[in-house]
Amino acid sequence: MEEPILKCENLCKNFGKKEILKNVSFEIYGGDILGFIGPNGAGKTTTIKLILGLQNLNKGKVTINGFDIKANFEKAIEKVGAIVENPDLYMYLTGYENLKIISNLYKNVDEKRIKEVIKLVKLENRIHDKISKYSLGMRQRLRNSTSNTTQTIIINIR
């Protein structure tokens, strides 16, 4: 049987005495697209932060590509690209200038690769505009182009 790419089992999260998540469980398989819809404060962003290891679970288990995020974090997160809420970008620089700066953080990212990812996220026509002129979705797409992988993409709009 096919293994889920992401498996959440009984996720529980409290902030102080406030119970935010209570036994949240779901699975995602290759090719699936899952969207969380819910009112402000429902716990959507918290769930995503728990999956990414940006918040600690009170109880439950997250497995990505067969790896438990607690026991094997580096392996689990290896093929995950994620943007949580607003991506951090230099607003007064263009999309292209941002990519050039971010590329310095990676080995083996040359001009050819930068051109490839711009095409991949379909920002060819806007890449020399300032980030301040982009929509939120365009900023998220630009930031996502810098993720090292395309296997599991998590984008958290709000």
Ligand X SMILES: Nc1ncnc2c1ncn2[C@@H]1O[C@H](COP(=O)(O)OP(=O)(O)O)[C@@H](O)[C@H]1O
Binding-site ranges for Mg ion (CB under 5 A):
44-45, 158
31 vs 41, beta carbon nearer Mg ion: 41
> Which one of residues 20, 51, 77, 127 is an interface residue with ligand X (CB under 6 A)?
20
42 vs 71, beta carbon nearer ligand X: 42
- Shortest distance, position 118 Cβ to Mg ion, whole Å: 28
DSSP 31: T
Token pair 């902030």: residue:
15
At residue 156's C-alpha, the angle toward residues 47 and 42, to 5°, is 45
Q: Is 83 an interacting residue with respect to ligand X (CB under 6 A)? A: no
Q: Is 100 an interacting residue with respect to ligand X (CB under 6 A)? A: no
Q: Is 35 an interacting residue with respect to ligand X (CB under 6 A)? A: no
Query: What burial class does residue 139 get, using C-beta atoms within 10 Å of its C-beta: 0-12 exposed, 13-18 middle, 19+ buried?
Result: buried
Cβ–Cβ < 8 Å for 27, 50:
no
Residue ranges that bind ligand X, judged by CB under 6 A: 15, 20, 38, 40-46
